Structure 1
Amino acid sequence: MNEAVELGPHRFAGLAAPAVDRAVAAGMRAARDGGGAELCQRYGGPAATSFLVEFRTRLAAPGGAVDGPGFAALTRHRDPATCQRALDKQVAHGMIHRRPDGGLSATERGATFLAELHHLHGEVTGELWAGHEDRVLRLVAALGRLLAYALVLAEENGATEGTAFAALAPPHEPDGTPPGVLLLNRLDTLRHQRADAYAASWAAAGHTAPSVAALSPGPERQAIELETDRRAAGPYTVLTAEERLIMLADLAALPG
């Protein structure tokens, strides 16, 4: 019980991050290997669908759009010119509509692709996490509380625009969304809250996206990681120490 009490929000944020990344990677890998690659090819391949897959939690919503500042935040570690060329290709494939504000939304064809992807994610996550239904439901409930509180904090801090989290949260969850899809998309959305915390941390340390990517392991990088944990910890205060420990154990036990 002492260990649970000591698992404070900032420490939990650091421990949870790799577990969240692992679960999201497992779900996306299962989708790719379980028919996702073929689905993408039917619509033109990655050159036509990559941003739709990446931003599905917002673009699948009726009228859902990622604005220009949100797109910049989501792609902050990539070359802007390369991202614009990729976006041009997806517009040319008729999958994405480029908005006057520099943002993007799904075309009718893009929305059809996202509906098929949603169905596929339901199938593959059901298979991937079969036998762990109770664990999945526990995680879905905890993540719902975390994301709701993260949105409250974003509102209080004036961070409702120009961040990766604001661009994609809350995830689109139509009625009947399978638990595995809820889990995958809520975890993926939560990852962007930490990405924003990381960006704020390296910017405060005087870095740019390219310079922090080139930073070697050592005290400076460690300081940025610790500051990221501190900045990312806010939503986890909505959980008790025991609930944080249970969430960490559930994430660790998920297959994949």
Structure 2
Amino acid sequence: MSDSTVAGRGALGRPTRRAETADQVELPPHRFAGLVAPAVDRAFVAGMLAGRDGGGAELSSRYGGPAATGFLVEFRTRLAVPGGTVDGPGFAAITRYRDPAACQRALDKQVAYGMLQRVPGGGCCATDRGLAFLGELFGVHAEVTEELWAGHDDRVERLVSALGRVLAYALLLTGDDEPGAFAAMAPPHEPDGTPPGVLLLNRLGTLRYHRADAHAAAWTAAGHTATSIAELPPGPERLAIEQETDRRAAGPYTVLTAEERLAVLADLAALPG
């Protein structure tokens, strides 16, 4: 075997063998991490906005509106899991850029509406009413993503497969006792029969938490807080933090060959929305 033939993937997405042709494509994981982030954001936001406009807002109003359903929508892929909870550290990581006291007041309201209940340690889980809402929300997302990405079935299937491998490897790389938004939200809830559009939407959303943790680690290492990084203007310091974010976010993408990384970018760019 030549030195240019290296591993691709085995069980659970571990790298095991990669073709020579992939190595000839100049797209290393850290560069890909920076390029794919806005593409992931665009596709995810398009799907969520379609859900809101395509029945999600009406559904939410039947259960009390955003004051009753906000965290259920945000944490849907974890709270929809039977017995699923978002623990206290996970809640803090997911909401790290928001005022903690305001988040606790919002959580109190959703508990009062009977949609969530608190669990020991500062976390929360869905009530039966909350689970009913989530079941209907997943149905809305199935309808709107089918319409939004109609005619792109092959592209959606490829992305679902690639991002599934990325998320599986990200889980392997994340320690069991490692707090963070990604650890709180991964893996996404994917019961049998979940439509491809919903799989893609929720895998995109879960992947965003991995980069969010990488970004937080980068600005923390640079001596910033959630408040100071939000106020940091463009310039060399912010650029350095973004580059460090790319480096920290790159690990899971090593499960894809360079050619596959290019294909993911192309497929995301071609999705409507």
TM-based fold match above 0.5: yes
Give 1:162 deviation, angstroms: 1.9
Match of 2:251 in 1: 234
Matched, 1:208 2:225: yes
1:161: how far off? 3.8
Cα pair 1:95 1:108 within 8 Å, conserved: yes
* Residue identity in the other structure for 1:139: L
| 3-state SS in 2 of match to 1:5 | coil
TM-score normalized by structure 1?
Answer: 0.97
Cα distance per residue 1:1-43 (max 9 Å; x no partner): 8996211000000000000000000000000000100000000
Q: For residues 203 and 250 of structure 2, what CA distance do their matches in structure 1 show? A: 17
Counting only pairs closer than 5 Å after superposition, residues 61-76 of structure 1 correspond to structure 2 as 61-76=81-96
- Give the fraction of aligned pairs with identical amino acids, expressed as a percent: 76
Shift in alpha-carbon separation, 1:113–1:4, aligned structure 2, 3 A: farther
The whole-number CA distance in structure 2 between the counterparts of 1:49 and 1:129 is 26
Give the alignment of 1:72-221 within 5 angstroms.
72-155=92-175, 160-221=177-238
> Displacement of 1:48 after TM fit?
0.3
- In 1: Cα distance, 2:65 partner to 2:24 partner: 46
Distance 1:197 1:105 in 2: 26
- The residue aligned with 2:56 is 36
CA contact (8 A) 1:4 1:245 kept: no
Q: Secondary structure at the match of 1:62?
A: coil
Describe the shift of the 1:83–1:4 C-alpha distance in structure 2 as closer, same or farther (beyond 3 A).
Answer: farther
Counterparts of 2:195 and 2:23, CA distance in 1: 33
Q: Is 1:225 aligned to 2:242, yes or no?
A: yes
Contact 1:36 1:120 in 2 (8 A): yes
The amino acid of 2:262's aligned partner reads: L
Q: Deviations for 1:222-252, whole angstroms, at most 9, x for unmatched residues?
A: 0000000000000000000000000000000
Q: Kindly tell me: are residues 121 and 205 of structure 1, through their superposed partners in 2, closer, same or farther at Cα, counting changes over 3 Å?
A: same
* CA–CA separation in structure 1 for the residues paired with 2:122 and 2:171: 24
Note if 1:10 corresponds to 2:10.
no
In structure 1, runs of 5+ residues without a counterpart are: none
Following TM superposition, by how much is the alpha carbon of 1:107 offset from its aligned partner in structure 2, in angstroms? 0.3
More helix by share: 1
2:22/2:258 contact within 8 Å kept: no
Structure 2 segments unaligned to the other structure (5+ residues)? 1-20
Whether 1:251 aligns to 2:271 is no
Whether the 8 Å contact between 2:72 and 2:126 is mirrored in structure 1 is yes
In 2, Cα distance between equivalents of 1:20 and 1:132: 16
In the TM superposition, structure 1's runs of 4+ consecutive aligned residues that sit over 6 Å from their partners are 1-4
Specify the code of the residue in structure 1 equivalent to 2:251. Answer: G
* CA RMSD after TM alignment: 1.2
- Larger CA Rg, structure 1 vs 2: 2
Kindly provide the amino acid, as one letter, of the partner of residue 5 in structure 1.
V
Distance 2:220 2:24 in 1: 32
Normalising by structure 2, we get a TM-score of 0.91
Question: In 1, Cα distance between the equivalents of 2:84 and 2:24?
Answer: 40
Q: 1:192 to 1:4 in 2, by over 3 A?
A: farther
Q: Aligned pair count?
A: 253
